[in-house]
Amino acid sequence: MQQNKLFIGNLPFSVTEAELETAFGEYGELDEIKVITDRETGRSRGFAFVTFNTQHAAESALALDGQDMGGRQMRVNVATERPRHNNGGGGGRKPAGNKSYGNTGHRRY
C-alpha cells in the first residue's frame, strides 16, 4: 500500500493544482497532484490526491488537516484504495427490463 499518497477532501470547487502545490509543497517534494473533476462538466468535485516523494513528507503534510483553503476546512488523510468490483462496472444497478413485482401481468375482473 502506498503511504505517500494523500486524499484531500472538502476543497473549494475553484481549487487548482497550482494552489495545492503551493500548500503541500512546503512539506516535501511532490510527485503528482490530481484534482478530481466531473467527466461531463469538467468542474472540480471538491477533492484531490497529492502524492509525495517520501512517506515522511506525506506524514508531515497531514498537519494541514482542518486548515482553511478558500473558506473551507480541508480534510487530509492517507489515501486508501477502493476495492475493485468484478461486475464490469456500472454502479451495481440491475437493468431496467421487465419487472413483474410479484404479479403476472394478467388481471382478472
Range of the domain at 22: 5-78
Which CATH number belongs to the domain containing residue 68 in this structure? 3.30.70.330
Q: What angle do CA 21, 27, 31 make, to 5 degrees?
A: 55
At residue 28, the pLDDT reads 96
Q: The pTM is what? A: 0.73
Q: Across residues 38-66, what is the average pLDDT?
A: 96
Radius of gyration of the chain (CA): 21
| 108 located within any domain | no
User: What is the percent of the chain where pLDDT is above 70?
Assistant: 76
| 36 located within any domain | yes
pLDDT, tens digit (0-9, with 9 covering 90-100), for 57-109? 999 999 999 999 999 999 999 998 877 776 655 555 555 555 555 555 555 55
